Amino acid sequence: MKISACMIAKNEEKVIARCIESYRTAVNEIIVVDTGSTDQTVAIAKNLGAKVFYFNWIDDFAAAKNYAISKAKGDWIIFLDADEYFGENMGGNVRAVLQGLDPIFNSIACKMLNIDQVTGKVFDVMTQVRIFKNNKHIRYILPIHEMLQHKLPGKKIHAFMADAKDIVIYHTGYSCDNRKEKAERNLEVLLRELPQAPMKPGYYQYIADCYFGLEEWEKVIEYTNLFIESKTELSGHNIRPYHNLIDAMLKLDHPSKEVMAVINEAIGKFPYHPLFHFSKGNLLYESQKYDTAFQEYQETLQLHKNYDSLEFNPLPANLWLVYNRLGAISEHRNNCEAAIEYYLESLKLDNNNALCFDRLMMLIRTMAVKDIILCINTLYDLDNEADLDFLADCLVKHAVPQVMAYYISLREKKYPKQDVAVLQMLVANGYYDKAFHALLDYYRQDGDDRLAATAAAVALLSGNEYYVAECVAVLPPVFIKIIKAYCGEERDLLDAGIAAYVQIAQLIILWGTPSALERFVALLVFFPDRVQAAVVTGSRFIQDSYYQQGLCLYDWALEQAMSVNAVISPALYYNRGYCLQRLNEPAAALEAFISAYKLGYHANDIFEFLRWNIQNENDKNRVATVLGEDWKYVDHQI
């Protein structure tokens, strides 16, 4: 049995060798058809033993590929594009698979992983026929999105599905960087073929794909609906129209009910596919329907685990988000152990997600230092500069000074750089004298308010009157006013300074003592609207998972508002309830959420929090009485 490897190529000098090397020792000949290269593509191909032929480009991929096939002498053909390649040592498996193949099959379908060539991450998985018999009746059709077809009546491409343990193909040709360029190129060709679309409806979907890449969402919807109405099937790509349609509708802010109707239609047609349960979970999550979203995400993971269909599957690029949101919902439910596990799984898939890393750190920051370090070390390469930079940037936002010192010191040994992270590490560990003047110099250079807040926090925490004086001489007036108020020098109304106040408060809660924080929080009385100032500061504390401190602020704000008979915002009670929920005080949390509902807070998440804090039949009856018709939103999962 002889095997020919075929390829068409143009200006592929960066990738062609990788492709050829992945099968070179397993084939009897290599055919490369060049369509107009101006780089070293041809020379590289010849050096690797390829026979090179030339084809004048006529905007027809099928014609060029069929020309390559016409030059092949093998019994079987491997046809990879230059930016595709077999997984490590898998090219050699092709012959063994062919030798054991039942004669009823005339082709082999393989799993193909599409990899973003910039990030190296898998963004979808599909199945492609890239190995087939050298038969004069098996040829490519269509000038773009070309596909194999058996030209004899009654005959078809009958593919054997290769086991992914034996053969996997990687494709690096698409990325966020070149998607628009390729979409424009393809669209120009496809629009010329548009008159044929009524007879060949696949063109509608290919055109919709191009408009998707160009982010022309109305056009995506128009051509996708034309394709769906045709009831045409595209082997391996039947879920793509619904995938595109749902995304386009979301981009154009179509009503949730309309989008959900399309999602449910897709689930009905493709009940085995994980993608649409993921879409449903997202829509429910964004609508703050957390329990039902959680169920959909779990179903997504189960379907993905068992998935073995030929249909393309874009879920791999989004698995990190599934785990991330399962973590967030688990946090809302106060199941912190589960949240930690979900966040770890998310970071294993995308360890550069700062928001996910922050959520994880907020949950594990009270663990022993050695345990935190062991946890982080499972996720990051400590010899990788980018990973160490990421850790340095993230850890400065968390009250784990020894952990921060460990990673920043490690980075300084391997990749020295005196940046703000180093100074923040020094401050977090109490070395104010080594950091203050450098921080002030950084502020003088770029005027960043975050640096101003850091310098102000150091001056206040150190108690050094010279640092205070230097800050007063350099920082913006709003920071100066806060510094003077803290030092008892001036206590005028701190008008228009809440943003600066919150920035400093974040740092004092990270680096200061409880008494320093208490002293700083006491300054809230000097704001014109002290209640609003407390609410804003409390919201920041909640975001950073300081629930006890947030609760104290909300209790104080509530007391202040009641003392002057001010209108109380339902959000004040809601946030107070959230703090109590996270502090595992369900009875008090339930009272706060009921108060928020009575005052008009009727967003979907209130029903989730009411449900989670109902402890007994009395609670259930009471909530049912208060909510009336709205009780159905709580009751459906109790």
At 115-145, the pLDDT tens digits run 887 777 887 888 889 999 999 999 999 888 8
Candidates 395, 317, 402; CA nearest to 360 is: 395
pLDDT at 73 over 70: yes
Supply the pLDDT for residue 177. 58
Query: How many CA atoms does the CB half-sphere of 616 hold within 13 Å?
Result: 2
SS3 162: coil
Tokens 């249909």 correspond to what residue? 311
- Over range 336-342, report the average pLDDT: 98
The residues near 333 (Cβ < 8 Å, ≥ 6 apart) are 290, 612
Task: Indicate the average pLDDT of the chain.
Answer: 93
pLDDT at 297 over 80: yes
- What is d(CA 460, CA 462) in angstroms, rounded to the nearest whole number? 6
Candidates 22, 262, 287, 261; CA nearest to 130 is: 22
Backbone phi, then psi, for 233, in 5-degree steps? -115, 140
The residues near 568 (Cβ < 8 Å, ≥ 6 apart) are 558, 561, 562, 599
Supply the pLDDT for residue 129. 92
Supply the pLDDT for residue 404. 94
- Per-residue buried b or exposed e for 415-441, using 16+ beta carbons within 10 Å of the residue's own CB: eeeeebbbbbbbbbeeebeebbebbbe
Query: How many CA atoms does the CB half-sphere of 338 hold within 13 Å?
Result: 14
Contact 42, 16 (CB under 8 A): no
Q: Residue 132 burial (CB < 10 Å; 0-12/13-18/19+)?
A: buried
Strand partners, 77: 4, 132
Per-residue model confidence as pLDDT tens digits over 358-372: 999 999 999 999 999
Location of each CATH 3.90.550.10 domain in the chain: 3-171
At residue 176 the predicted structure's pLDDT band, cuts being 50, 70 and 90, is low
The residues near 456 (Cβ < 8 Å, ≥ 6 apart) are 471, 475, 479, 482, 483, 504
Location of each CATH 1.25.40.10 domain in the chain: 179-321, 529-638
- Over range 82-108, report the average pLDDT: 94
Residue 621 to residues 506, 585, 606, 618, 626: CA-CA distances in angstroms? 41, 19, 17, 5, 9
**CATH number of this structure's domain 3-171:** 3.90.550.10
Query: How many CA atoms does the CB half-sphere of 91 hold within 13 Å?
Result: 23
- Over range 15-35, report the average pLDDT: 96
- Over range 286-315, report the average pLDDT: 93
Supply the pLDDT for residue 493. 77
Contact 42, 99 (CB under 8 A): no
Supply the pLDDT for residue 451. 93
Supply the pLDDT for residue 308. 82
Supply the pLDDT for residue 53. 97
Residues of the chain with pLDDT > 90: what percent?
83
- What is d(CA 32, CA 23) in angstroms, rounded to the nearest whole number? 14
pLDDT at 491 over 90: no
- What is d(CA 426, CA 407) in angstroms, rounded to the nearest whole number? 13
- What is d(CA 199, CA 202) in angstroms, rounded to the nearest whole number? 9
- Over range 573-602, report the average pLDDT: 97
Contact 108, 160 (CB under 8 A): yes
- What is d(CA 273, CA 304) in angstroms, rounded to the nearest whole number? 7
Per-residue model confidence as pLDDT tens digits over 523-570: 999 999 999 999 999 999 999 999 999 999 999 999 999 998 888 999
Supply the pLDDT for residue 83. 94
Contact 618, 589 (CB under 8 A): no
pLDDT at 175 over 80: no
DSSP string, 583-618: TT-HHHHHHHHHHHHHTT---HHHHHHHHHH--SHH
Q: Which residue type is seen at 601?
A: Y
Q: Where are the beta strands (DSSP E) in 172-222?
A: none
At residue 178 the predicted structure's pLDDT band, cuts being 50, 70 and 90, is low
- What is d(CA 250, CA 258) in angstroms, rounded to the nearest whole number? 10
**CATH number of this structure's domain 529-638:** 1.25.40.10
- What is d(CA 23, CA 26) in angstroms, rounded to the nearest whole number? 5
Q: Which helix (H) or strand (E) holds 139?
A: strand 138-141
Residue 184 to residues 142, 177, 178, 314, 536: CA-CA distances in angstroms? 18, 13, 10, 22, 47
- The CATH class that applies to domain 179-321 reads mainly alpha
- Over range 339-345, report the average pLDDT: 98
Candidates 375, 380, 433, 419; CA nearest to 400 is: 375
Supply the pLDDT for residue 234. 83
Token pair recorded at residue 628: 């009336």
Residue 311 to residues 127, 564, 614: CA-CA distances in angstroms? 7, 64, 44
Per-residue model confidence as pLDDT tens digits over 441-474: 999 998 999 999 999 999 999 999 999 999 999 9
- Over range 201-223, report the average pLDDT: 94
- Over range 264-292, report the average pLDDT: 97
Angle between helices 514-521 and 498-511 (to 10 degrees): 170
pTM of the model: 0.88
Strand partners, 168: 111
- Per-residue buried b or exposed e for 559-580, using 16+ beta carbons within 10 Å of the residue's own CB: ebbeeeeeebbbbbbbbbbbbb
